[in-house]
Structure 1
């Protein structure tokens, strides 16, 4: 049910681009190997530097993250480094760092990204262009770079996010992704902020759900100017840890999306269970899935302004089969969720 909170209207003068001051918020913990890549992409944004406030939170790093950030931003007044020393309300970990960043921000528009991301030059303008009266949260499109393993992870990002975009275009709220997200100050403050929300490690999904519950609209985008390119997970173990953290929030997803994810994970176990289906049915269903999946990925890549070889698109299927079974087993394995050298019990996830 929509709430009756007044929404701030986005005002645009006819014939002039919408260029408000915005806050870009980056929480960083032990990111010495990748933070400069992110900072360089933010320094290259096609947006007036005087209208940018770029805040980086050093969340108790034990490496050289803070020193690298300080050296990079010393001659860039639009950047500022914060050191996180105390908890705010119920927030912990990354959610606490983000709560501090949002309190320090001085604009009406919060753009969230991660330290392992590089954003397209027109990212800010593209995200702002999706705003309309009543819209509180906008999510961009993300992929991953690197070798074959990284590009397959990138296809995973694109597949899932464009599926979520299709649901959003039909008015079905699913989730937002905190590495490529815009939230208006009005929508954020209506939730009470991260420090007022019950702590979970899937803080982006939690904030999205709180914003939508308060009657704000949402947009999910798939276009080149809002593309973010993440560094891939370096190993299968690291990828499994990431996916376990993601799946920890599946219980709070809308039933139609949670059902799709779990169905995708169980698809192969059911299809290839010995003797469950005739071989001709197994072959027919499997090759139909590959065809539809490859076509969907081809369209998604074109919409996002990316290209990929047909051989890699076809390799995505065995990768997905292998990872789906591994992730399902890893999620069911009773062990804590590990994230940024911190451990969280499943209830917190």
Structure 2
């Protein structure tokens, strides 16, 4: 007689060279309220794969493993990349839901409980993440994340699903298996975006809409780390943009182009039509500011309004203009010791 599968959630993490951030991640994982409830003790499994790290990642995983009841730790003998590592652990996962995150995150103690609670009637649920902000540079990055996620959240409420962040994503196991998972995806710098697009297309071809729930709540919010150096920030945003560019249709690419080209449009209008430029800047400022007020209220982050007022618009427009130039010039991306062209 076949044994009944009691595992509801497989928490899946691919880790590489994370010795500095891994302890805090594992401590926040161990502090999940979902684990403390007796009825949930057999519903969870955790699978972490070390993708050939050469630092102390493996030692830290071994040290912290004693705190978890149902955990599997794998180690690749060499670095094979995040997509291939995820393929390996997804094959081992037994849960009815796959809950993906990254080893450089700091989890809300209510994270697993919130994501699991929100799963009903959905094939896919995504939370949000944003960096901690200790200064203006980090604050601008925090505002950028929050505005991005709030825009995705609003579009989702209109049944328009454009993306997810793979560091905070719950996906129904059956849905993952139906589309073939990560296995036949071409090499991409954004494997989570590519899989989400693949799933959305799968349902569209069947005349259906993917039932996806984009959350925008403090309980589903994970903290990450802001990038300290401008070049590292450029490389990360270029990776995101190039992944979106490669996975988009012509209309979506056109929208991405104009979004990145705003600074160049401003400069042209400065010489040709200052009145139109003024109205454009005013309209852009008011829309972003109103969105940010609502977003900050929903996740209790009022401080981000100060970061927005303190030069965020120029930070954003300059960054995205440079990223657009990088895409058009075919600038290679270096990420996790791999080169994407």
Task: Report TM bin, short chain.
Answer: 0.7 to 0.9
Q: Which residue of 2 aligns with 1:333?
A: 329
1:10-159 aligned at under 5 Å gives the runs: 21-48=8-35, 50=41, 51-85=43-77, 93-133=81-121, 135-147=122-134, 148-159=136-147
Instruction: Give 1:85 shift.
Output: 4.2
Which ranges of structure 2 fall in alignment gaps of 5 or more residues? Answer: 1-5, 204-209
Instruction: Give 1:208 shift.
Output: 0.8
Instruction: Give 1:276 shift.
Output: 4.6
Q: Deviations over 1:311-339 (max 9, x none)?
A: 31212212112212222223333332211
CA distance in 2, matches of 1:207, 1:79: 25
- Measured on the aligned residues, the alpha-carbon RMSD in Å equals 2.2
Q: Which residue of 1 aligns with 2:215?
A: 221
CA distance in 2, matches of 1:174, 1:104: 29
CA distance in 2, matches of 1:76, 1:224: 25
CA distance in 2, matches of 1:155, 1:264: 17
Q: 1:75 to 1:335 in 2, by over 3 A?
A: same
Contact between 1:141 and 1:304, CA under 8 Å: does it hold in 2? Answer: no
1:226-245 aligned at under 5 Å gives the runs: 226-245=220-239
Instruction: Give 1:20 shift.
Output: 6.4
CA distance in 2, matches of 1:257, 1:128: 31
CA distance in 2, matches of 1:142, 1:104: 27
1:167-206 aligned at under 5 Å gives the runs: 167-206=155-194
Which ranges of structure 1 fall in alignment gaps of 5 or more residues? Answer: 1-18
Q: 1:256 to 1:332 in 2, by over 3 A?
A: closer
Q: Deviations over 1:100-154 (max 9, x none)?
A: 1111212111111112211211111221222233x32111111111322222112
What's the TM-score, normalizing by structure 2?
0.87
CA distance in 1, matches of 2:151, 2:244: 16
Aligned residues: 322
Confirm whether residue 306 of structure 1 aligns to residue 298 of structure 2.
no
Q: Secondary structure at the match of 1:77?
A: coil
Contact between 1:136 and 1:183, CA under 8 Å: does it hold in 2? Answer: yes
Q: Which residue of 2 aligns with 1:342?
A: 338
Contact between 1:202 and 1:249, CA under 8 Å: does it hold in 2? Answer: yes
CA distance in 1, matches of 2:67, 2:263: 54
Q: Larger % of helix: which? A: 2
Contact between 1:57 and 1:97, CA under 8 Å: does it hold in 2? Answer: yes
CA distance in 2, matches of 1:105, 1:272: 52
Contact between 2:130 and 2:221, CA under 8 Å: does it hold in 1? Answer: yes
Instruction: Give 1:155 shift.
Output: 1.2
Q: Secondary structure at the match of 1:119?
A: coil
Instruction: Give 1:301 shift.
Output: 1.7
Q: Secondary structure at the match of 2:95?
A: coil
Confirm whether residue 267 of structure 1 aligns to residue 262 of structure 2.
yes
CA distance in 2, matches of 1:324, 1:44: 37
CA distance in 1, matches of 2:277, 2:192: 38
Contact between 2:48 and 2:73, CA under 8 Å: does it hold in 1? Answer: yes
Contact between 1:95 and 1:201, CA under 8 Å: does it hold in 2? Answer: no
Instruction: Give 1:29 shift.
Output: 0.7
**Farther-moved stretch of structure 1 (28-37 vs 146-155):** 146-155
CA distance in 1, matches of 2:232, 2:270: 34
CA distance in 1, matches of 2:249, 2:96: 29
Q: Secondary structure at the match of 2:281?
A: helix
Q: Deviations over 1:23-82 (max 9, x none)?
A: 111111111111112111111111026232122110111111111121122342233311
